[in-house]
């Protein structure tokens, strides 16, 4: 939940759950461990509620159920702002692809078409044949 803007992939999932721990011991130890974990669960629920605008009770129900949300559901529930533009290809990548540059190279390009970085990459591609 860090950052001012949260984007999630269309095929991604967001999972919210209670705090996890491995513990060993008798029933008294387990009760002590459960009591130890409760403030962490509460803090996470507070954060999720603040970020999403949902009630803490609703968030706690989802955490208890170990809830998975698709990217779109995470947006609808306030856990993210938008989907990532995963399928978006910029102009530099389209230009190189049209010139026959391999797709694995095109995916690495973030400079504008005609820029020195693109020209250098394109020239390297031509040398390698």
Rounded to two decimals, the pTM is 0.64
Same domain, 43 and 98: no
pLDDT value of residue 81: 92
**Euclidean distance between CA atoms 34 and 93, whole angstroms:** 52
**Euclidean distance between CA atoms 57 and 88, whole angstroms:** 38
Same domain, 70 and 24: yes
pLDDT value of residue 90: 57
Dihedral sign for Cα 59, 55, 73, 71, please: negative
pLDDT tens-digit map of 22-77: 999 999 999 999 999 999 999 999 999 999 999 999 999 999 999 999 999 999 99
Q: What is the largest CA-CA distance in the chain?
A: 71
Residue 2 maps to a domain: no
Same domain, 96 and 63: no
Average pLDDT over residues 66-95: 80
pLDDT value of residue 99: 74
Same domain, 78 and 96: no
- For residue 22, the enclosing domain spans 7-83
Listed in sequence order, the DSSP H helices in the chain are 27-52, 56-64, 71-76, 91-98, 103-106, 116-128
Same domain, 54 and 98: no
């Amino acid at each position: 939940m860090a950052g001012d803007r949260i984007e999630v992939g269309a095929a991604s999932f967001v999972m919210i759950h209670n705090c996890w721990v491995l513990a060993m011991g008798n029933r008294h130890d387990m009760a002590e461990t459960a009591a130890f974990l409760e403030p962490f669960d509460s803090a996470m629920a507070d954060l999720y509620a603040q970020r999403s605008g949902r009630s803490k009770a609703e968030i706690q129900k989802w955490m208890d159920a170990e809830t998975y949300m698709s990217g779109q559901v995470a947006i609808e529930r306030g856990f993210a702002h938008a989907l990532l533009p995963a399928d978006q290809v910029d102009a530099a990548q389209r230009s190189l692809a049209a010139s026959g540059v391999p797709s694995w190279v095109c995916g690495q390009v973030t400079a504008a078409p005609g820029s020195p970085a693109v020209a250098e990459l394109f020239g390297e591609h031509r040398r390698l044949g």
